[in-house]
């Protein structure tokens, strides 16, 4: 939506809305640092690139040889940064707030194939699963005398000891898990149902329709504006 | 259930005939790919509806392979080749190990045969958030309507005593609770055949009774039940047929009455109820006999006022507001425990009582919410786990949580060179493997060992360090008679050489035979049993 509309206020509104949403969901303390980690380097590089070397810049604010800061360049860089920020924030708010079981249930309720829904859910549960396995390997090693202190060197050494057992155990685990999932009918072609009820209020449904309409509208507006402007 | 084979049978049609087996197998041989010799040879199994079959065998006899083969978890052609036949609901599939063999559809097979594997965690789908949803997973895949699923989940939970756990995350269940869940997942679709591999392992007394009455009820309802075990649990005495496996072959079979000990028909490695007396090595007459009070020395391990509660899982603010504020559930409450050098203490308690949680406090893997843990007189609060581990050896409940190396020898040797120097480390590792009877398996991969050998290997990794405190979590689970005798000897000799031993177990017979005193953990409190 924001990439289509390409306007400062819109991008800012979306970013603000994302922050409000993540605050309300209680995930802000995880979303905001993650967003900063992505956006700060990206935003700086955009500023340097477009701020200094924007070819269509007319209003020169300062110049050092071939590099010149132009108002248009800064404007463009700011706009792009905000657009990206909006997209990144929206994705992060989603991935930090989505409850995987709800997602899988919602997907299968809408007729998404069981295997596909499972793969999708697995990609989201994979990291916690790997972290859990790594934790149990670390506990086993610590229980046998591996001392892990807070220093970076000690942690790196510990990671080296854990990496191979981790990968091997994940592969082994996948083999047995596959047999269990097949036997429990994950691959069934027929229709499937869902035990979990995902609450889907009229408000949510309305919000989704409005958002889709807004996205379409912004594309139309952009195209029309480009048509009249050019 | 078959693609490329003969016609698809009507799921329940032929099964109604009481004399015809609902599940049968005739195995000439079954060989894993890249294995030099067959793991199973000359075995016939036949299970009519409502029959109860016990397949008994020592560790490494091929029980689990047979169970997975019967239940479609190990389809012929996938990981190994079968020569022989499998028969389900009146349809016989002939295999000769060639490319023209029929292929089994595990999902269709799974509708007829429910399976509880030896490692109950293998059943979990990993994408379901609660026990109730995990139970319903198989039903969802068959497209059952919601009301039907709710009724089935409710009924199964009641049968297995899972009622109070329906809303819990399956990943946070205790060992025994997980076993109940795995059994529930297998029986909930109502398969005509149920195959269970070591179902009694890590179940408490209540769980054992519930499972026994569940099996009786299923048999009355016409389900054919097959239990694979290396111990003769009380329930197995009610079986119609016993089949004895030894080295992958059928060594005998018949009604239980004909196969009592002394008949010579059962291998000595198969355990009898409370069978530690039967298998106890005669050489183990030592000072560490029950009833004898060890000499008074300062405690090797002491817990003072230890309380512990798991932090709540993170939840969003909306949900948090709905819950009552404050007190998280305490798993341990004001636990006092002092264990002296040479003393063996057994801790029992129902599934989920916090026994494993208690043991994890001994070396600092878990830190008490309040109270202190002293090892050899010093507080371990600030010490890293790796340091405390020099004095405390912990045997985990699941060997797979303990084993991570590529070979058995590397596994035992891990961390030893730092403790003793390279030369002595090799010697200690060898001695520890010798003590658990695994000296010949030094080059094998731990994950490929039978469950009993995995448990013993995990024990060897603990013994090799000669810790002052030995903490053993369910050490008898998955051990056959030979393994149990090795464990018993190892524990006694460790205690004789001055180690303080704490073992958590449901095996009361073993606890009484091995421990100086027995404590019960219930409701977070530790008291004499």
State the virtual CA torsion across A118, A122, A125, A129 in degrees, nearest 10.
120
Distance CA B42, CA B82 (A): 11
Q: Which residue in the set B72, B316, B414 is minimally distant from A183, CB to CB?
A: B72
Q: What is the pLDDT of residues B259-318, one digit of tens each?
A: 877 777 788 888 876 544 434 333 333 444 444 555 556 889 999 999 998 876 544 444
Set of chain B residues whose Cβ sits within 8 Å of the Cβ of A129: 126
**Do residues B135 and B184 make contact, with C-beta atoms less than 8 angstroms apart?**
yes
What is the pairing mode between strands B241-246 and B52-57? parallel
Can you spell out the DSSP letters for B402-464? H--SSSHHHHHHTTHHHHH-HHHHHHHHHHHHHHTT-GGGTTS-GGGS-HHHHHHHHHHHHHT
- DSSP class of B231: B
B52 membership: H or E segment, kind and range: strand B52-57
Residue numbers of B between 103 and 142 with CB closer than 8 Å to A: 106-107, 109-111, 115, 117, 119, 122-130, 132-133, 136-142
Write the Ramachandran bin of B264: left for phi over 0, alpha for psi from -120 to 50, otherwise beta.
Answer: left
**SS3 string of chain A?**
CHHHHCCHHHHHHHHHHHHHHHHHHCCHHHHHHHHHHHHHHHHHHHHHHHHHHCCCCCCEEEEECCEEEEHHHHHHHHHHHHHHHHHHHHHHHHHHHCCHHHHHHHHHHCCCCHHHHHHHHHHHHHHHHHHHHHHHHHHHHHCCCCCCCCCHHHHHHHHHHHHHHHHHHHHHHHHHHHHHHHHCCCCCCCCCCCCCCCCCCHHHHHHHHHHHHHHHHHHHHHHHHHHHHC
Q: Which residue in the set B126, B127, B385 is minimally distant from A142, CB to CB?
A: B385
Cβ atoms < 10 Å from Cβ of B428: 20
Mean pLDDT of A60-86: 79
pLDDT at residue B15 tops 60: no
Set of chain B residues whose Cβ sits within 8 Å of the Cβ of A99: 129
B44 membership: H or E segment, kind and range: strand B40-47
Paired strand residues for B228: B55, B197
Between chains, do A140 and B144 touch, taking CB under 8 Å as contact? Answer: no
By percentage, how much of chain B surpasses pLDDT 70? 88
Considering only residues B405 and B25, tell me which one the structure prediction assigns the higher pLDDT.
B25
Task: Tell me which of A82-86, A216-220, B308-312, B346-350 is least confident.
Answer: B308-312
Between chains, do B122 and A177 touch, taking CB under 8 Å as contact? Answer: yes
Mean pLDDT of A131-148: 84
Rounded to a whole number of angstroms, the distance from the CA of A46 to the nearest CA of chain B is: 35
Structure tokens at A146: 């591996």
Considering only residues B121 and A11, tell me which one the structure prediction assigns the higher pLDDT.
B121
Q: Which residue in the set B404, B419, B447 is minimally distant from A140, CB to CB?
A: B404
Set of chain A residues whose Cβ sits within 8 Å of the Cβ of B145: 193
Mean pLDDT of A157-175: 81
Residue in chain B lying closest to A177 (CA): B122
> What is the structure's pLDDT at B273?
66
ipTM confidence score: 0.74
Set of chain A residues whose Cβ sits within 8 Å of the Cβ of B74: 179
Considering only residues B254 and A126, tell me which one the structure prediction assigns the higher pLDDT.
B254
Between chains, do B387 and A147 touch, taking CB under 8 Å as contact? Answer: yes
**Among B358, B397, B343, B292, residue whose Cα is nearest residue B526:** B358
Q: Which residue in the set A139, A148, A194 is minimally distant from B365, CB to CB?
A: A139
3-state class of B477 per DSSP? coil
**Do residues B492 and B319 make contact, with C-beta atoms less than 8 angstroms apart?**
no
> What is the structure's pLDDT at B322?
40
Q: What is the pLDDT of residues A25-57, one digit of tens each?
A: 777 777 788 888 888 888 888 888 877 777 777
Set of chain B residues whose Cβ sits within 8 Å of the Cβ of A108: 140
**Among B280, B302, B298, residue whose Cα is nearest residue B289:** B280
pTM of the model: 0.76
Residue numbers of A between 61 and 100 with CB closer than 8 Å to B: 97, 99-100
> What is the structure's pLDDT at B257?
84
> What is the structure's pLDDT at B269?
81
Q: What is the pLDDT of residues B116-166, one digit of tens each?
A: 998 888 888 877 888 999 999 889 888 888 899 999 999 999 988 888 899
What does each C-alpha distance from B333 to B103, B175, B381, B465, B521 come to in angstroms? 55, 21, 18, 31, 10
Alpha-helical (H) ranges within B267-334 are 276-279, 317-322
Distance CA B146, CA A192 (A): 11
> What is the structure's pLDDT at B462?
92
> What is the structure's pLDDT at A82?
86
Considering only residues B331 and B274, tell me which one the structure prediction assigns the higher pLDDT.
B331
Q: What is the pLDDT of residues B440-471, one digit of tens each?
A: 998 998 888 888 899 999 999 999 989 999 99
**Do residues B32 and B248 make contact, with C-beta atoms less than 8 angstroms apart?**
no
- Most confident range (mean pLDDT) of A10-24, B250-264, B330-344 is B330-344
Distance CA B179, CA B118 (A): 9
- Most confident range (mean pLDDT) of A165-169, B141-145, B501-505 is B501-505
Mean pLDDT of B484-501: 93
Residue numbers of B between 218 and 247 with CB closer than 8 Å to A: none
Cβ atoms < 10 Å from Cβ of A106: 17
Structure tokens at B189: 């679709």
Mean pLDDT of A140-159: 80
What does each C-alpha distance from A41 to A35, A78, B487 come to in angstroms? 11, 13, 58
Q: Exposure of A212 by Cβ count < 10 A (0-12 exposed, 13-18 middle, 19+ buried)?
A: exposed
Paired strand residues for B252: B244
Q: What is the pLDDT of residues B175-185, one digit of tens each?
A: 888 999 999 99
Set of chain B residues whose Cβ sits within 8 Å of the Cβ of A190: 142-143
pLDDT at residue B323 tops 70: no
Q: What is the pLDDT of residues A184-201, one digit of tens each?
A: 888 777 777 778 777 777
B243 membership: H or E segment, kind and range: strand B241-246
Rounded to a whole number of angstroms, the distance from the CA of B257 to the nearest CA of chain A is: 35
> What is the structure's pLDDT at A190?
72
Q: Which residue in the set A143, A162, A188 is minimally distant from B142, CB to CB?
A: A188
Phi and psi at residue B326, to the nearest 5°: 85, -135
How many Cα atoms are found within 13 Å in the side-chain-facing hemisphere of B139?
25
By percentage, how much of chain B surpasses pLDDT 90? 45
> What is the structure's pLDDT at B4?
39
Set of chain A residues whose Cβ sits within 8 Å of the Cβ of B383: none
Mean pLDDT of A91-101: 77
Q: How confident is the model at residue A141 (pLDDT cuts 50, 70, 90)?
A: confident
Mean pLDDT of A175-182: 83
3-state class of B187 per DSSP? helix
């Amino acid at each position: 939506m924001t990439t289509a509309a390409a306007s400062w206020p819109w991008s800012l509104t979306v970013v603000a809305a994302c922050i409000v949403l993540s605050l309300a969901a209680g995930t802000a303390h995880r979303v905001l640092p993650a967003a900063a980690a992505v956006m700060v380097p990206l935003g700086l590089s955009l500023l340097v690139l477009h701020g200094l070397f924007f070819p269509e810049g007319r209003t020169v604010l300062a110049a050092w040889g071939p590099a010149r800061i132009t108002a248009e360049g800064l404007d463009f860089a700011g706009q792009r940064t905000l657009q990206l920020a909006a997209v990144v924030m929206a994705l992060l708010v989603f991935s930090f707030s989505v409850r995987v079981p709800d997602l899988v249930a919602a997907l299968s309720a809408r007729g998404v194939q069981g295997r596909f829904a499972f793969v999708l859910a697995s990609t989201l549960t994979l990291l916690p699963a790997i972290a859990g396995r790594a934790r149990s390997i670390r506990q086993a090693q610590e229980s046998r005398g591996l001392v892990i202190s807070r220093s970076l060197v000690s942690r790196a050494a510990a990671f080296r000891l854990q990496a191979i057992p981790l990968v091997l155990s994940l592969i082994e685990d996948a083999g047995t898990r596959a047999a269990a999932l097949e036997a429990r009918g994950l691959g069934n072609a027929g229709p499937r149902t869902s035990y979990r009820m995902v609450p889907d209020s009229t408000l949510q449904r309305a919000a989704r329709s409005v958002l889709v309409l807004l996205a379409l509208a912004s594309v139309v507006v952009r195209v029309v504006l480009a048509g009249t402007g050019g | 259930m078959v693609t490329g084979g003969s016609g698809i049978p009507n799921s329940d049609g032929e099964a109604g005939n009481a004399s015809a087996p609902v599940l049968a197998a005739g195995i000439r041989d079954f060989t894993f790919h890249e294995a030099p010799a067959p793991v199973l040879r000359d075995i016939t199994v036949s299970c009519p509806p409502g029959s109860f079959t016990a397949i008994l065998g020592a560790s490494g006899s091929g029980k689990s392979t047979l169970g997975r083969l019967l239940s479609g978890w190990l389809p012929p052609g996938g990981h190994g080749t079968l020569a022989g036949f499998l028969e389900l609901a009146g349809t016989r599939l002939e295999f000769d190990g060639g490319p023209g063999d029929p292929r089994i559809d595990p999902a269709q097979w799974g509708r007829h045969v429910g399976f509880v594997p030896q490692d109950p965690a293998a059943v979990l789908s990993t994408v379901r958030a609660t026990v109730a949803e995990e139970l319903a997973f198989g039903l969802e895949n068959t497209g059952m309507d919601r009301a039907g699923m709710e009724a089935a989940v409710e009924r199964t939970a009641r049968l297995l005593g899972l009622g109070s756990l329906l809303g819990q995350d399956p990943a946070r269940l205790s060992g025994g609770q997980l076993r109940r869940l795995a059994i529930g997942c297998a029986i909930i679709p109502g398969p005509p055949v149920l195959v269970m591999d070591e179902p009694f392992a890590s179940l408490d007394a209540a769980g054992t009774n519930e499972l026994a009455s569940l099996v009786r009820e299923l048999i009355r309802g016409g389900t054919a039940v097959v239990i694979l075990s290396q111990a003769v649990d009380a329930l197995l005495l009610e079986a119609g047929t016993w089949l004895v496996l030894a080295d992958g072959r059928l060594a005998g079979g018949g009604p239980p009455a004909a196969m009592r000990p002394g008949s010579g028909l059962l291998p000595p490695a198969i355990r009898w109820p409370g069978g530690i007396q039967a298998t106890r090595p005669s050489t183990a007459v030592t000072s560490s006999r029950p009833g004898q009070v060890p000499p008074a020395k300062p405690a090797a391990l002491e817990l003072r006022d230890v309380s512990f509660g798991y932090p709540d899982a993170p939840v969003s603010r909306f949900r948090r507001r709905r819950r009552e504020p404050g007190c998280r559930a305490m798993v341990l409450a004001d636990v006092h425990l002092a264990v002296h050098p040479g003393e063996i203490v057994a801790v029992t308690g129902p599934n989920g009582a916090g026994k494993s949680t208690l043991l994890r406090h001994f070396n600092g893997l878990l830190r008490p919410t309040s109270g202190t843990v002293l090892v050899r007189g010093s507080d371990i609060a600030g010490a890293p786990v790796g340091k405390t581990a020099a004095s405390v050896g912990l045997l985990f409940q699941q060997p797979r949580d303990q084993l991570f190396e590529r070979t058995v020898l590397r596994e035992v040797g891990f961390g030893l060179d730092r403790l003793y120097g390279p030369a002595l480390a090799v010697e200690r590792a060898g001695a520890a493997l010798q003590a658990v009877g695994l000296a010949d398996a030094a080059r094998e991969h731990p994950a490929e060992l039978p469950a009993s050998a995995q448990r013993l290997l995990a024990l060897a990794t603990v013994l090799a360090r000669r810790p002052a405190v030995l903490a053993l979590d369910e050490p008898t689970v998955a051990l056959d008679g030979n393994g149990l005798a090795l464990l018993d000897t190892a524990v006694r000799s460790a205690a004789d050489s001055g180690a303080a031993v704490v073992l958590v177990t449901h095996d009361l017979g073993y606890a009484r035979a091995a421990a100086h005193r027995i404590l019960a953990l219930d409701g977070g409190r530790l008291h004499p049993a």
